[in-house]
């Protein structure tokens, strides 16, 4: 397999270096950029995200993020959202009473996780479906989470659809929430694969291998 | 299954070099924080903390360099504390590859700093480090613990438990709770301090200070700590990360293997 050409979208959010280095470690050729055409044309796009939902959306809007994702997905070109980069794929996010529209690729809301200790910070188990591509060989591994908000329900009804339903991976902290979604070219993880040691690197490798 | 108890080694870094004697076998350069960080990662450390004790703030370029070289090689979370005074300091650390910034003295001087940092980077990046000790002499606080500065030498008279709670309400996403009484004793963590802090806040607590034996860690977790931190027992090879995790698991606590 040749090196996969990956763009990590730089829209002013946090630690991008780790995402870049982790992807490079598993063989990708990575560019960190905010350039729209470059992000549009790349073989794969990673949308990272840390901090507040509203701040991330403001940053993403400033780089034409919603259109970028729409056009990529219309062409079947892969996108991986990480942490808040997953959360913004839902319809909206509610943090501290601030309700912010998201990309709306999936219906539903991201809001506060109901748990005794928040943020949910540390290494937790996940429950991937048997046919998951991202978690192939990794179902027993722990991944590194750090977040206070989450998608606590899945509201897209695909039961009448003839196409494959999205693969949902759940985790539990106080209550169940979505740890990952695999939906055709659009994948997302609530945890940080780039901070999840060997398990995280293996998950990124699984993702890259699925793009060939 | 549930969230694993995090086991975190802490490295004191002075001018880009690890201090506090390091006794790792099979390391080409045990004074190099990057080499040591990779060794701890291989041992199963769940996170790493660098405490920058470089005296002169003008020399912090070496710190950023160490952070970025570590982040290039080690794919577990990295917290960097010591001399973090402004949001620009945090920005530089995060850009270099750190995931969280530890804030201590600057927040005592100006508690709003925690809020400013949380607003800009998110609470998950903001770790409030509290150096606490039992009150001495005429000093009294409701909890019986006070915040100290200067490595535990100077008491502030501020109630340490109330300060941890205030820090969380002002935006800290995690509390690094250092017992200055237990620090260096190897007699175990100060579980009374941990219990008191756990009661008043709902953000994660990292317990620090006093670890001497593998059996010392479980009581800290039972007292309410979400994570346990130690320095010298790991550096001197008295304990390995794996030994600590085995003992935690034997006590029925979840760990990452």
What is the domain-level CATH number for residue A163?
3.40.50.880
B interface test, pick of A50, A51, A141, A196 with most B CB neighbours within 10 Å:
A51
Span B188-194, mean pLDDT?
Answer: 98
- Does residue B70 carry a pLDDT above 70? yes
pLDDT attached to residue A212:
72
pLDDT attached to residue B172:
97
Q: Is A147 in the active site?
A: no
pLDDT attached to residue B21:
53
Average pLDDT score, chain B: 92
pLDDT attached to residue A42:
98
Using the beta-carbon criterion (under 8 Å), do B124 and A196 form an inter-chain contact? no
Catalytic residue among A141, A147, A182, A194: A194
Averaged over successive runs of 10 residues, the pLDDT of chain A (212 residues) comes to 89 82 96 97 95 92 97 97 97 94 97 96 98 97 97 91 88 98 97 97 98 82
Q: Is the ipTM here above 0.90?
A: yes
pLDDT attached to residue B93:
93
Number of domains in chain A: 1
Q: How many angstroms separate the CA atoms of A21 and A27, rounded?
A: 10
Using the beta-carbon criterion (under 8 Å), do B202 and A142 form an inter-chain contact? no
Helices then strands, counting H and E runs in chain A, come out as 6, 13
Residue A90 host element (H or E): strand A90-95
pLDDT attached to residue B74:
94
B4 touching chain A per CB within 8 A: yes
Range(s) of the domain holding residue A50: 5-210
Q: What 3-state DSSP class applies to A67?
A: helix
Q: What 3-state DSSP class applies to A23?
A: helix
B interface test, pick of A96, A144, A193 with most B CB neighbours within 10 Å:
A144
Catalytic residue among A83, A120, A141, A173: A83
- Does residue B1 carry a pLDDT above 60? no
pLDDT attached to residue A160:
83
Q: Is B12 in the active site?
A: yes
pLDDT digits (tens, 9 = 90+) for B192-241: 999 999 999 999 999 999 999 999 999 999 999 999 999 989 988 899 99
- Does residue B140 carry a pLDDT above 80? yes
pLDDT attached to residue A54:
92
Most distant CA pair in chain A, distance: 47
Of all residues in chain B, the percent with pLDDT exceeding 70 is 93
Q: Looking at per-residue confidence, does B25 or B132 come out higher?
A: B132
Measured in angstroms, the CA of A78 and the nearest CA of chain B are apart by: 23
pLDDT attached to residue A52:
87
Give the model's confidence band at B53: pLDDT under 50 very low, under 70 low, under 90 confident, else very high: confident
Q: How many angstroms separate the CA atoms of A69 and B53, rounded?
A: 44
């Amino acid at each position: 397999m040749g090196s996969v050409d990956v763009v990590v979208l730089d829209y002013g959010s946090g630690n991008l270096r780790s995402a870049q280095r982790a992807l490079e470690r598993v063989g990708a050729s990575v560019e960190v950029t905010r350039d729209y055409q470059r992000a549009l044309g790349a073989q794969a796009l990673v949308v990272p995200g840390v901090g507040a939902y509203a701040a991330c959306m403001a940053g993403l809007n400033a780089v034409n993020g919603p259109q970028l994702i729409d056009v990529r997905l219309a062409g079947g070109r892969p996108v991986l959202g990480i942490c808040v980069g997953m959360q913004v794929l839902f319809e909206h996010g509610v943090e501290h009473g601030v309700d912010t529209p998201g990309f709306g690729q999936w219906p539903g809301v991201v809001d506060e996780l109901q748990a005794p200790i928040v943020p949910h910070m540390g290494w937790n188990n996940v429950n991937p479906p048997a046919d998951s591509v991202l978690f192939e060989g990794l179902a027993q591994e722990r991944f590194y989470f750090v977040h206070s908000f989450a998608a606590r329900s899945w509201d897209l009804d695909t039961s009448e659809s003839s196409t494959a339903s999205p693969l949902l991976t759940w985790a539990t902290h106080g209550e169940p929430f979505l740890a990952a979604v695999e939906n055709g070219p659009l994948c997302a993880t609530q945890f940080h694969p780039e901070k999840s040691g060997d398990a995280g690197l293996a998950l990124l490798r699984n993702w890259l291998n699925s793009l060939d | 299954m549930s969230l694993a108890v995090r086991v975190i080694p802490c490295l004191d870094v002075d001018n880009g070099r690890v201090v506090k004697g390091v006794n790792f076998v099979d390391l080409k350069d045990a004074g190099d924080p990057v080499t040591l960080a990779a060794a701890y990662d291989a041992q199963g450390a769940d996170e790493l903390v660098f405490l920058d004790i470089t005296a002169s703030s003008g020399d912090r370029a070496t710190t950023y360099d160490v952070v970025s070289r570590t982040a290039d090689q080690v794919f577990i979370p990295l917290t960097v504390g010591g001399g973090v005074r402004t949001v620009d300091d945090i920005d530089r650390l995060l850009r270099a590859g750190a995931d969280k910034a530890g804030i201590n003295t600057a927040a005592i001087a100006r508690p709003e700093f925690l809020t400013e940092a949380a607003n800009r980077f998110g609470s998950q990046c903001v770790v409030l480090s509290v150096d606490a000790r039992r009150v001495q002499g005429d000093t009294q606080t409701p909890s019986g613990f006070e915040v100290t500065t200067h490595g535990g030498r100077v008491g502030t008279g501020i109630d340490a438990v109330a300060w941890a709670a205030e820090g969380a309400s002002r935006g800290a996403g995690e509390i690094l709770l250092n017992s200055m009484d237990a620090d260096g004793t190897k007699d175990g963590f100060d579980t009374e301090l941990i219990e008191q802090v756990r009661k008043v806040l709902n953000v994660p607590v990292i317990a620090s200070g006093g670890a001497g034996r593998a059996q010392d860690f479980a009581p800290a977790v039972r007292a309410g700590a979400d994570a346990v931190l130690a320095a010298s027992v790991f550096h001197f090879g008295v304990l390995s990360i794996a030994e600590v995790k085995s003992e935690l698991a034997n006590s029925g606590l979840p760990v990452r293997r």
